Structure 1
Amino acid sequence: MISQIKKMSSSTIFPLLLLLTILSLVVLSPIVTMVIFGAILAYYVRFISCRIKPYVKYDTLSIFLGMILLTIPIALLLYFTITQILGISSLLLGSVQQATAVNSTMDLSHINGAVEKLGLSPAITQNITDAIKSGILQLLSTITNSLINMVSSIPALAAQILILIFSIFYFARDGDKIVQYIKDVVPDKDKGFYREVLNGADDVLKSIIVGNIIPAAILGVLSGVVYYFLGYPYVILLAIISGIAMFIPIIGPWIVYGAIGLFSILTGNTTQGILVIIFGWIIETTTDFYIRPRISVQYSEVHPLVFLLGFIYGAVTMGIPGLFIGPLILGITYAAYKVYRQERLKSKQAND
């Protein structure tokens, strides 16, 4: 078999490999996002497992422990946040079934009082109150439909999570073999180029974790300070929610600032509601457009605009995994072009 391959010309082998690669991507297209996301998370699992390895006997055990240590804080934060949100929502709005019922008798006395303070005519006041009630009912109906769709898609979601877990494990365990395989396939004359690209990928991966976790923590702390001075209850919970909401594509922490501000305005605390929206806009804009690209670029020479576009449009096109995949793809592409440019300049200088 090997001798037959040696007899084949490179012009024949390359199209065959290209065709097989394209066919493989077509087959894996439904899960390719999770596989790439798993490879990225495996990078961080390997970092944790390397710190654990001196204390355990088996490499596989260190990888499992690394995966667990990476999962526990995320799971606890999500569990605590979701349960608290559901508890507070039930206190404020009642059950979803009652709120979304056609003949729902939602208590809007506090909203009516807030609208009446505006000094408008009774007809306009009633229209505004009806519009608010209709908006709340529509929002809760949307939430209900989303929950139903989420429940119906549990099998597909479970399959995606299973693929993600296996991808993390195998990439973390066999990462060195994969890198060595790439080195063996790459021609000797091109190894310097690919070495620089891999080093750029390493820098980008470090920048991604710093550009996601640290900005979210900064936003959560600053939001907590604002909530505290504005007199809101559940300051710690709201701060955690605000930080986690930064990972939500497009909307981000505005889902928190907007909901809190609107509720404060409707309950008569107009100044408090306006201030939380203004300060929330300042915090979110500063964190997303200044702090995040700036601290990410400290770990890589990639331009901040590349990271910004990767964070935003990666999330738009691929959801939460896109927060990691988007910057990685754009960052590696930028690094590859930069290395290629440097090689070209060196070649020109040598010829001159």
Structure 2
Amino acid sequence: MGLNIKDYLNTPILFIIVLLVISLMFVFPVLNMVLLGAILAYGIRPIANKIQSKLKYSSISILLAIVIVLIPLILLVAYIIFELSTFVTWILANNPDANVNSAMYQISAYLPAGVDINSINSYLDSVINNVGSYILNYSVKFVSKFANITLDLFILVCSVFYFVRDGDKCLDFIRSFVPDDSKDFFDNTIKAIENVLKSIFYGHFLTSVIIGIFGCIGYSLLGYPFGIFLGVLTGILQLIPVFGPWPIYWALFFIDVASGNYVRAVIVLFFGFFLSTVDMYIRPALSSHYADIHPLILLIGFLAGPLVYGIVGFIIGPLVLGITYAVLDNYRNEYLLGDD
């Protein structure tokens, strides 16, 4: 018997499709905040449950859990801004006459003969001007979009709150539409998604925290000013594929070479190699316990995510691609390989 599409596209189904399309048009501008809220809710929910076991008030427990998670993030951003301002002030105080041209002429002593310093200076001046213009334009856009940013944050907090409180009800509601012969696939898919979330959190975010702590200790012991701040930057860069900790320790290496501190330059270079090597062991050891995701999938997610969703794309990008891979792999195991 042939498939008759009219048996499926009846009046109620058509009405539901129209409503879903219209609803998606309203939700799409804030979809990134809703998705991010669902992701954060997954990590905040265990904290809220522990608090609720003592307070017995779900709403208060969820709000306290959100505050507990947000306070370290706010403090981290404030610390980075404070240290950056302190670092710039320190550089200007110790080098009142410093500029790009004088710095380049000092570095020219270490460059091969025949290198055109003037062309390098012109290029650096152009880069600095472009970066300054970009920061200024971005600041103006940020101020002009302050109302939208406030709305996004409000939607994010509300999404986290309601996903933590009613996440089970949401899954049960979706599951009620799944045919009986596909409920096992749906349940296995949910488990696979949870494993992806755990894999990315433990394998990437926790790894960056560990590398950042190592960086704080190592840079401080080597006597670098702002050693803790350099360690924090190392941990943040560890989250970004391709980058990792190498920009920090290579920059310190060249600074020490330029200043004649060759012993510390060699030590910091070996320390940087140690951080990169530790990452190669810690990341697979933590993530492989939950889900085995190919690094290319996460790399594309990290790099393409910000192009689609802005800065939150660093989180949403790899998670969406990782979850898509988990769903496809579960379907392959359930319906394709399962029939062999």
Q: Same fold (TM over 0.5)?
A: yes
Aligned partners of 1:115 and 1:266 also within 8 Å? no
2:106 to 113, 127, 130: 113
CA offset at residue 65 of structure 1? Answer: 0.6
Aligned residue number for residue 67 of structure 2: 68
Aligned residue number for residue 3 of structure 2: none
Query: Deviation per CA, 1:143-181, whole angstroms, max 9, x where unpaired?
Result: 344333333332222221111111111111111210111
Aligned residue number for residue 39 of structure 1: 38
Query: Deviation per CA, 1:271-313, whole angstroms, max 9, x where unpaired?
Result: 86787578657745873x7643552232125455544443444
Aligned residue number for residue 165 of structure 2: 173
In structure 2, give the amino acid aligned to 1:115.
S
Matched, 1:220 2:212: yes
Which blocks of at least 5 consecutive residues in structure 2 are unaligned?
A: 1-5
CA offset at residue 223 of structure 1? Answer: 3.0
More contact order relative to length (CA 8 Å, sep ≥ 6): 1
Aligned partners of 1:114 and 1:268 also within 8 Å? no
Distance in 2 (CA, whole Å) between partners of 1:85 and 1:50 is 37
Aligned partners of 2:217 and 2:228 also within 8 Å? no
Aligned partners of 2:193 and 2:327 also within 8 Å? no
Matched, 1:51 2:43: no
Aligned partners of 1:42 and 1:168 also within 8 Å? yes
In structure 2, do the counterparts of structure 1 residues 130 and 190 end up closer, same or farther at CA, with 3 Å as the change threshold? Answer: closer
Distance in 2 (CA, whole Å) between partners of 1:269 and 1:138 is 33
Matched, 1:331 2:329: no
Which blocks of at least 5 consecutive residues in structure 1 are unaligned?
A: 1-7
Query: Deviation per CA, 1:202-249, whole angstroms, max 9, x where unpaired?
Result: 111222221332121132134335534654222112101221234468
In structure 2, do the counterparts of structure 1 residues 284 and 317 end up closer, same or farther at CA, with 3 Å as the change threshold? Answer: farther
1:196 to 188, 201, 205: 188
Distance in 2 (CA, whole Å) between partners of 1:151 and 1:200 is 41
Q: Percent identity?
A: 34
Size of the aligned set, in residue pairs, is 332
More off after superposition, 230-239 vs 337-346? 337-346
Give the secondary structure class of the aligned counterpart of 2:81: helix
Give 1:1-352 correspondences, 5 Å limit: 10-12=8-10, 13-93=12-92, 106=99, 109=102, 111-116=104-109, 118=111, 120=113, 124-125=116-117, 128-129=120-121, 131-133=123-125, 135-224=127-216, 226-228=218-220, 231-247=223-239, 256-257=248-249, 260=252, 280=272, 283=275, 287=279, 291-292=282-283, 294-303=285-294, 305-344=296-335, 348=339
TM-score (norm 1): 0.77
CA offset at residue 58 of structure 1? Answer: 0.9
Aligned partners of 1:310 and 1:323 also within 8 Å? yes
Aligned partners of 2:100 and 2:121 also within 8 Å? no
Aligned residue number for residue 4 of structure 1: none
In structure 2, give the amino acid aligned to 1:58.
Y
More off after superposition, 299-308 vs 19-28? 299-308
CA offset at residue 129 of structure 1? Answer: 4.8
Distance in 2 (CA, whole Å) between partners of 1:320 and 1:247 is 13
Distance in 1 (CA, whole Å) between partners of 2:303 and 2:244 is 10
Distance in 1 (CA, whole Å) between partners of 2:148 and 2:210 is 34
In structure 2, do the counterparts of structure 1 residues 256 and 268 end up closer, same or farther at CA, with 3 Å as the change threshold? Answer: same
Aligned partners of 1:114 and 1:265 also within 8 Å? no
Aligned partners of 2:104 and 2:117 also within 8 Å? no
TM-score (norm 2): 0.80
Distance in 2 (CA, whole Å) between partners of 1:78 and 1:141 is 23
Distance in 2 (CA, whole Å) between partners of 1:250 and 1:216 is 14
In structure 1, give the amino acid aligned to 2:288.
V
Give the secondary structure class of the aligned counterpart of 2:290: coil
Two-structure CA RMSD over aligned residues (Å): 3.7
More off after superposition, 139-148 vs 67-76? 139-148
More off after superposition, 148-157 vs 308-317? 308-317
Give the secondary structure class of the aligned counterpart of 1:29: helix
More off after superposition, 42-51 vs 25-34? 25-34
In structure 1, give the amino acid aligned to 2:50.
R
In structure 2, do the counterparts of structure 1 residues 334 and 270 end up closer, same or farther at CA, with 3 Å as the change threshold? Answer: same
In structure 1, give the amino acid aligned to 2:225.
P
Query: Deviation per CA, 1:59-84, whole angstroms, max 9, x where unpaired?
Result: 00000011011111111111112111
